[in-house]
């Protein structure tokens, strides 16, 4: 893949560049701020961007805001957010699905256990999947369990929806919950019915977005 990398920590930036290149990817640019990320993305139109959240000048959410902007302007570019902490702002915008939109991921640096896991996650995102660290899902969803249309969901339906938000297939959800795929399909159908989405929408993505927004 052709990749643009944004990370303000020099050692981590160089380390990621080396890992990606050893795995056969081409790092078009490795930059330290969101402004450069936007510029190089517009110039090179990479297959994938990898960005941290906190970058100069304010070290708050520059990387996440840049990723959301890239998602809106270039939905065909896959995005991987790689951060040391969880930030909620702009994540729903990243997950908004449009026709032909590329994949998106959000991983926590200290929970990536092995390089091969990270590379596999990049491959999934490049293939159009959504890959979200379970800790991100727990952080974003746990505090708003009783709000909005989600109040009608059962505990099991919430468990299924949380696993959907991690980008899991029905088969993977069934394995995690130790139930049959038929049972998972039944729960997914119940979720869709209770959240009452329009027939033309991607109901799986819409359900995840509804859950993230609380």
> Same structural domain for residues 122 and 203?
no
pLDDT at 199 > cutoff 70: no
User: Would you place residue 88 in the very low, low, confident or very high pLDDT band (cuts 50, 70, 90)?
Assistant: low
CA distance 111 to 158: 23
Residue 93: per-residue pLDDT: 67
- Mean of pLDDT values over 99-118: 85
3-state DSSP helix/strand/coil % of the chain, to nearest 5: 55, 15, 30
- Mean of pLDDT values over 121-142: 82
Decide which of 128 and 142 is more confident.
128
Domain boundary among 102, 132, 162: 132
Q: Which DSSP string corresponds to 146-177? A: TSGGGGGS-HHHHHHHHHHHTT--HHHHHHHH
pLDDT in tens, 112-125: 888 999 999 999 99
Decide which of 189 and 48 is more confident.
48
> Same structural domain for residues 23 and 76?
yes
- Mean of pLDDT values over 96-115: 79
Domain boundary among 94, 110, 132: 132
Residue 152: per-residue pLDDT: 77
> Same structural domain for residues 154 and 112?
no
């Amino acid at each position: 893949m052709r990749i643009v990398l944004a990370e303000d920590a020099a050692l981590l930036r160089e380390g990621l560049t080396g890992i990606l290149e050893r795995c056969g990817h081409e790092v078009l640019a490795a930059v330290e701020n969101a402004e450069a990320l936007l510029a190089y993305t517009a110039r090179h139109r990479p297959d994938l961007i990898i960005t941290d959240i906190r970058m100069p000048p304010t070290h708050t959410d520059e990387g996440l805001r840049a990723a959301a902007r890239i998602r809106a302007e270039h939905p065909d570019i896959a995005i991987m957010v790689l951060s040391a902490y969880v930030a909620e702002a702009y994540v729903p915008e990243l997950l908004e699905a449009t026709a032909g939109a590329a994949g998106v991921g959000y991983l926590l640096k200290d929970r990536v256990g092995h390089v091969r896991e990270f590379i596999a996650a990049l491959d999934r995102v490049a293939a159009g999947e959504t890959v979200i660290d379970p800790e991100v899902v727990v952080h974003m969803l746990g505090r708003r369990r009783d709000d909005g249309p989600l109040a009608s969901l059962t505990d099991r339906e919430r468990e299924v929806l949380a696993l959907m938000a991690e980008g899991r297939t029905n088969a993977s959800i069934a394995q995690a919950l130790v139930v049959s795929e038929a049972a998972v399909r039944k729960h997914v159908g119940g979720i869709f019915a209770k959240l009452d989405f329009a027939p033309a929408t991607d109901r799986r993505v819409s359900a995840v977005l509804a859950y993230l927004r609380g």
